[in-house]
Amino acid sequence: MILRFTKMHGAGNDFVVIDLVSQRCKLRSRDIRKLADRRFGVGCDQVLVVEPPSRPDVDFRYRIYNADGGEVEQCGNGARCFARFVREKKLTAKKRISVETACGVIVLNARDHDQVEVDMGAPRFEPADIPLRAEQRAASYVIDLGAQQLEVGAVSMGNPHAILRVDNVDTADVEGLGPQIERHQDFPQRVNAGFMQVVAEDTIRLRVFERGVGETLACGTGACAAVAYGRSRGWLSETVTVQLPGGKLSITWRGEGHNVMMTGPTAVVFEGTIKL
């Protein structure tokens, strides 16, 4: 099977985007892993699949697969690239695009050339929504790694995030702690691990060890989750610039009961075909 794909990235978080509206094929988990493979495939953090909608009130179905082949609920940087892709491929002429994901409908607002704003929905803090093994909701949680205990925030953006506040992201032990947090027993569906440095109430630096991938250059849902946690702790203002290794995102959250809005860059890297 020969498959057309487009390589894109949002603030360095890179994707292989597959249009299954104008081409038909069934992607198996091993096909996803091959597409994501940086040695023998195309190479990316996540594979994004554009499908026709399964309901009349949305424009598209949006499926997201981590590099390990697992399907996940949400991908913020991917959503921005999705909006640019469907417009540039003339799959829609709309600027306001509603997209069905595994965790509900999100709305994408295509702005000027490469900037896209995404309504990422409301952050959820209840342990059952993360999911997190905890008696009840708390401002933060202590997870025991054996050699040390960590205080983390826990937020769902449709996908699970644990956020550790650190003094300096450059010296944070992302490589050592990331995998331990990702697979900690308190997170039954594993978790994306964010390392957040609060620079000012409107600026944070963030590194994310992503579930099913490892450290990425940027994580949109991770940025949303970090701002929601930081704001819930009283450390951050309503609109925050999130500086990630691959670029900057602007996140706005007015507080509980409101959705998180994310704006950031998108880029098309190259187009190609691959034999699966």
Ligand X SMILES: N[C@H](CCC[C@H](N)C(=O)O)C(=O)O
- 220 marked among binding-site residues: yes
Q: Smallest distance, Å, CB 162 to ligand X?
A: 11
For residue 260, state whether it binds ligand X (rule: CB under 6 A): no
CB atoms within 10 A of CB 273: 8
Residue 35, CB-side half-sphere exposure with 13 Å CA sphere: 33
CA 159 to chain centroid, in Å, comes to 8
Tokens of 13: 């978080």
Touching ligand X, residues 87-116 (CB under 6 A):
none
Among 77, 156, 197, 266, binds ligand X (CB under 6 A): 77
- 159 marked among binding-site residues: yes
Among 19, 31, 100, 210, binds ligand X (CB under 6 A): 210
Nearest to 6 by CA among 97, 86, 102, 111: 86
Helix, strand, or coil (residue 56): coil
Among 156, 159, 197, 243, binds ligand X (CB under 6 A): 159
Touching ligand X, residues 177-196 (CB under 6 A):
192
DSSP string, 136-170: S--S-EEEE-SS-EEEEEEEESSSEEEEEE-S-GG
Stretch that binds ligand X, among 89-97, 123-131, 195-203, 210-218 (CB under 6 A): 210-218
With contact defined as beta carbons under 8 Å apart, do 26 and 67 qualify?
Answer: no
Q: Smallest distance, Å, CB 196 to ligand X?
A: 15
Among 61, 63, 211, 231, binds ligand X (CB under 6 A): 211
For residue 219, state whether it binds ligand X (rule: CB under 6 A): yes
